[in-house]
Structures are given as structure tokens and as C-alpha cells.
């Protein structure tokens, strides 16, 4: 995942939550991503320099591509970078696995298990089913969002008019869903796809495309984990759905910029003030968050401690 916003806030599991902090100055951050376990972080810049960090803030690798980086994602052993003219897939040591020249890249994604990747450009979808090979599909319109399942078996690409879903074992065929104005999407553990739109609709795409939410407000983030789905809107309203497609709760966060859910809980964040936490056990240990401040170009760590909460009564810290 890669975002361009004033603040990007991502979550690291409690097992990594120590009291340390670190910062790193990067001018003109244009793309960023972090693995789900928080061990690997990538940040790319408009000047073309990218940095790979470990969880302690150490630069594991860096290089200069000499062209603006537009999107980036990172997995356990590799990373994918989109630029104004190409998609690159590299190992954490910088070994080039793929380099495919194209029009400007808008979005990239790589599976957690390093089995496949996808990029979307101004007119094409590029699927890398083995990281070293590529399948190209011309769509003729901007591919604004792409995503890949954690097991690498499915990839999805969204344009302004609809969503394409591919099985990576056969990238020549796909399912198409006429869901317009998609603004965020992610795969669930069972292979279904959760997608939110700018007009406030929430869809769950499996064998069929079911609308499970409507008029929620302009959706800026959809974040599923296990059998839970968290939806954040531009108005600051946050919704939580369970596997039965039932809304469990909703609450409002001032100046919401991002939200994320893991097996241990939900973080909803506004301007780096932790506002809400939800989890099945109702109690969280200390967590740590990574924040990219695009306005000043700083990469910072902050150490956060939470109180407990319940679905109908949320405690804040």
C-alpha cells in the first residue's frame, strides 16, 4: 500500500512495541509502505531515491532511480516500485527481478509471500505472476488502485468504471464488476474482496458482488483482517463489519487520515492522536505506529499505549 496524504499512519503488532523511537529525514516523500508485521518499511521520493528500513530505523538498502517514484510496496523479501516510466521489482538487497517500461505507474502491490505482484498505469494493468514474468492487459483508462491477496492467488485492479479480479494461475481470464469510483479495496483471508467507493458504498466481492453498506460517506480506506472489516470515511466516520456482513459499531474520529485493523485490534487515527482501539479481547498491549509526515519530509516513530474498549463503549487514550 502506498498513500499520499499529510499523514500516513500504519500499525505494528504489539510484539514489536518497545519504547524506542527514531526519525529519518527524506525530502519529498512520494510513496511509502510497510509489511504487515512492521519489520520492513519502504519510502520513495519525488527525486527518485528510495530507502528500505528495518523496524529499528536502520537503512537496509537505498538507491537512486533518477526519476520520480509514484508508488511502492514491500514484502518479506522483495519490493515493487512504480515510477513515471516503469515498474521495478527488486530484492531487499537491490537485485533486479523485473524492470518493465511503461507509461506513468499509478499504483503497485506485492503479495506478502513474494509470489506475485501487480501494477496499474495510466492505461494498462501489469501482472507479475512469478515476479520475473509479466502479463499485460490494456484497459485504456487510468488504473487507480491495485491490490493482491496475501497468498498471491488473486490480484485486483480498479479503474473509475469497474474492478478487474484475476487468478494469478491464469492471468488471461478475469471477472469484471461494474463498481464505479472505487477509492479503496483489499482482499480478506477467504479470498473475497472488500471495496469502498467515493459515493459511500461498501461491497464484498466473492462469487457475487454484494453491497453491504451504502451512503456511508466518501470512503478513504477499507481495511479487513480475518472476519472483520474496518471502513474509514472522509468525514471521520469509522464503521466495523463482521463476517456475516453485519455492522457491529460506528464512531467518529476528528480529522481521520487512515485506519487499520489487525488480529489484535483496530487503530483509528487523526493527526497522530490515537482515537480508538477495538479488539476481540477488549484489551491491547502497547503498540507502535509509523508516521510519514509528507509536509516536512520527516519519517518518525512514536510509541503509543492504549486503554481498553468495547464495541458499544470505546475508551480512548
Instruction: Report pLDDT for 259.
Output: 63
DSSP one-letter string for 189-221: TTS-EEEEETTS-EEEESSSEEEEE-S---EEE
Q: Tell me how many helices (H) and strands (E) the chain has.
A: 0, 33
Q: Long-range contact list for 153-161, CB < 8 A, 24+ apart?
A: 153/191, 154/187, 154/191, 154/193, 155/109, 155/116, 155/118, 155/127, 156/118, 156/185, 156/187, 156/193, 157/118, 157/120, 157/125, 158/120, 158/182, 158/185, 158/195
Dump the DSSP string for 174-189. EEEE---SEEEEEE-T
Confidence of residue 60 (pLDDT cuts 50, 70, 90): very high
**pLDDT band, residue 218 (cuts 50/70/90):** very high
More confident residue, 296 or 64: 64
Residue 251: partners with Cβ closer than 8 Å, 6 or more residues away: 237, 238, 268, 276, 314
Could you identify the residue written with the cell 499504483?
107
Of the ranges 13-17, 81-85, 212-216, the best mean pLDDT one: 81-85
Residue 118's Cβ-count burial label (10 Å; 0-12, 13-18, 19+) is buried
Write out pLDDT tens, residues 130-150: 999 999 999 999 999 999 998
How sure is the predictor about 299, in pLDDT bands with cuts at 50, 70 and 90? very low
**pTM > 0.95: yes or no:** no
Query: Is residue 22 very low, low, confident or very high in pLDDT (cuts 50, 70, 90)?
Result: low
Range of 38-47, 173-182, 183-192 with top mean pLDDT: 173-182
Q: Quick one: average pLDDT of 227-241? A: 83
Which residue ranges form the domains of the chain, and what is each CATH number? 189-280 (2.40.10.360)
pLDDT tops 60 at residue 162: yes
Q: Which residues contact 19 (CB under 8 A, 6 or more apart)?
A: 303
Amino acid at each position: 500500500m502506498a498513500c499520499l496524504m499529510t499523514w500516513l499512519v500504519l500499525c505494528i503488532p504489539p510484539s514489536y512495541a518497545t519504547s524506542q523511537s527514531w526519525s529519518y529525514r527524506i525530502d519529498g516523500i512520494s510513496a511509502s509502505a510497510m509489511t504487515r508485521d512492521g519489520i520492513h518499511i519502504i519510502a520513495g521520493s519525488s527525486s527518485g531515491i528510495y530507502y528500505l528500513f528495518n523496524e529499528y530505523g536502520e537503512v537496509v538498502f537505498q538507491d537512486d532511480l533518477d526519476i520520480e517514484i509514484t508508488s511502492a510496496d514491500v514484502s518479506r523479501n522483495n519490493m515493487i516500485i512504480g515510477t513515471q516510466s516503469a515498474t521495478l521489482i527488486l530484492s531487499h538487497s537491490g537485485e533486479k527481478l523485473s524492470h518493465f517500461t511503461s507509461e506513468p505507474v499509478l499504483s503497485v502491490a506485492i503479495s506478502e509471500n513474494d509470489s506475485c505482484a501487480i501494477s496499474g498505469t495510466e492505461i494498462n494493468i501489469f501482472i507479475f505472476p512469478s515476479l520475473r514474468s509479466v502479463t499485460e492487459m490494456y484497459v485504456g483508462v487510468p488504473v487507480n488502485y491495485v491490490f493482491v491477496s496475501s497468498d498471491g492467488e488473486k490480484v485486483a485492479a480498479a479503474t473509475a468504471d469497474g474492478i478487474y479480479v484475476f487468478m494469478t494461475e491464469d492471468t488471461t481470464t478475469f471477472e469484471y464488476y461494474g463498481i464505479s469510483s472505487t477509492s479503496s479495496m483489499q482482499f480478506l483471508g477467504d479470498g473475497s474482496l472488500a471495496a469502498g467507493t467515493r459515493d459511500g458504498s461498501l461491497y464484498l466481492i466473492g462469487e457475487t458482488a454484494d453491497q453491504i453498506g451504502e451512503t456511508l460517506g466518501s470512503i478513504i480506506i477499507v481495511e479487513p483482517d480475518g472476519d472483520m472489516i474496518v471502513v474509514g470515511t472522509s468525514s471521520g466516520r469509522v464503521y466495523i463489519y463482521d463476517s456475516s456482513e453485519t455492522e457491529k459499531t460506528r464512531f467518529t474520529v476528528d480529522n481521520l487520515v487512515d485506519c487499520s485493523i489487525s488480529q489484535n485490534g483496530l487503530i483509528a487515527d487523526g493527526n497522530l492522536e490515537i482515537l480508538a482501539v477495538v479488539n476481540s479481547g477488549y484489551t491491547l498491549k502497547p503498540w507502535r505506529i509509523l508516521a510519514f509526515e509528507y509536509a516536512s519530509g520527516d519519517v518518525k516513530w512514536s510509541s503509543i499505549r492504549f486503554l481498553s474498549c468495547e464495541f458499544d463503549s470505546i475508551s480512548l487514550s
